[in-house]
Amino acid sequence: MSKEETGRTEESHMARAIELAQGVRTTTSPNPWVGCVIVDGAGEVVGQGATAPPGGPHAEICALALARERARGRSEERRVGKECRSRWSPYH
């Protein structure tokens, strides 16, 4: 994959994290609204999540749980998360 293609892919992953965060914007207070995307060694999204309402898990925990489920039965290269993209809301 070229550097340009990698950049577009990274941008799309961050855009997805932002989209996830915006989707829970009014439901997470007093916690920040966060979206998270986890990408495996082959560049495939293997986990994503958003912060749950208070008392529930944060975005990264949701994304890691999904990635864990998807990792079962995969090769070692595909099993290991390569990158995690999170979007945190600004604190007021």
Among the listed residues 37, 45, 38, the one whose alpha carbon sits nearest the alpha carbon of residue 21: 37
Known active-site residue 60 = yes
CATH of 3-88, one of 3.60.60.10, 3.40.50.720, 3.40.140.10, 3.40.50.2300: 3.40.140.10
CB atoms within 10 A of CB 4: 8
Q: Is 19 helix (H, G, I), strand (E, B) or coil?
A: helix
* pTM score, whole prediction: 0.76
Domain ranges (residues) in the chain: 3-88
How far apart are alpha carbons 8 and 46 in whole angstroms? 18
Catalytic member of 19, 60, 76, 77: 60
Pairing of strands 34-40, 81-88: antiparallel
pLDDT tens, 11-48? 899 999 999 999 999 999 998 999 999 888 777 888 99
Contact, 2 vs 15, CB < 8 A? no
